[in-house]
């Protein structure tokens, strides 16, 4: 049962990654054509970082689910699912629809959802909460990058 649940959380988390990933099919082409700050990572960094973050998220959700079960963790796990949807939406806003400002605003909402999820997870299972810290840090960095890219490339990311 525990292994099946862990696999289920991985499937759900990576399904959200897949939905967002569809929007990023041409991301390297777009990203390489943008005027970027010196601290922007190369496009090749994003895939491995996101893969690791999604894996950490799945394990965190499983730990929270495992601790008190769905009933005891309903709020925390609902927040988790909502932030997954918001995560996938950002890729569509930024890469597919090239709406830089809308993507930044949505990313701010995502950031708040991650904080709420992290706090809810922390209350139920401290390790699960800690596993979301790298995700929050990366999204914070991505938010700053989103803002700078939008401001530097208004004709592309209008």
Domain boundary assignment for the chain: 2-152
Are 158 and 98 within 8 A, CB to CB?
yes
* Residue 84 backbone phi and psi in degrees, to 5: -65, -45
Check residue 154 and give its pLDDT.
Answer: 96
Are 54 and 62 within 8 A, CB to CB?
no
**CB neighbourhood size of 115 (10 A):** 15
Check residue 108 and give its pLDDT.
Answer: 98
Q: Which residues of the chain have pLDDT under 70?
A: none
- 2-152 has which CATH code? 1.20.1260.100
Check residue 45 and give its pLDDT.
Answer: 96
Identify the CA nearest to 40 among candidates 52, 48, 49, 31.
31
Check residue 103 and give its pLDDT.
Answer: 98
DSSP 8-state code for residue 97: S
Check residue 92 and give its pLDDT.
Answer: 98
Check residue 158 and give its pLDDT.
Answer: 87
């Amino acid at each position: 049962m525990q292994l099946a649940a862990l696999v289920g959380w991985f499937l759900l988390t990576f399904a959200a990654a897949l939905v967002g990933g569809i929007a990023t099919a041409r991301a390297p082409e777009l990203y390489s054509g943008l005027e970027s700050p010196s601290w922007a990572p190369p496009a090749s960094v994003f895939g491995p970082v996101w893969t690791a973050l999604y894996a950490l998220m799945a394990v965190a959700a499983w730990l929270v689910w495992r601790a008190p079960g769905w009933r005891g963790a309903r709020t925390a796990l609902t927040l988790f699912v909502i932030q997954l949807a918001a995560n996938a939406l950002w890729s569509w806003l930024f890469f597919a629809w090239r709406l830089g400002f809308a993507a930044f605003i949505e990313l701010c909402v995502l950031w708040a959802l991650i904080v709420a999820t992290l706090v809810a997870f922390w209350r139920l299972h401290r390790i699960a909460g800690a596993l979301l810290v790298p995700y929050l840090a990366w999204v914070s960095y991505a938010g700053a990058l989103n803002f700078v890219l939008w401001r530097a490339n208004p004709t592309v990311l209008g």
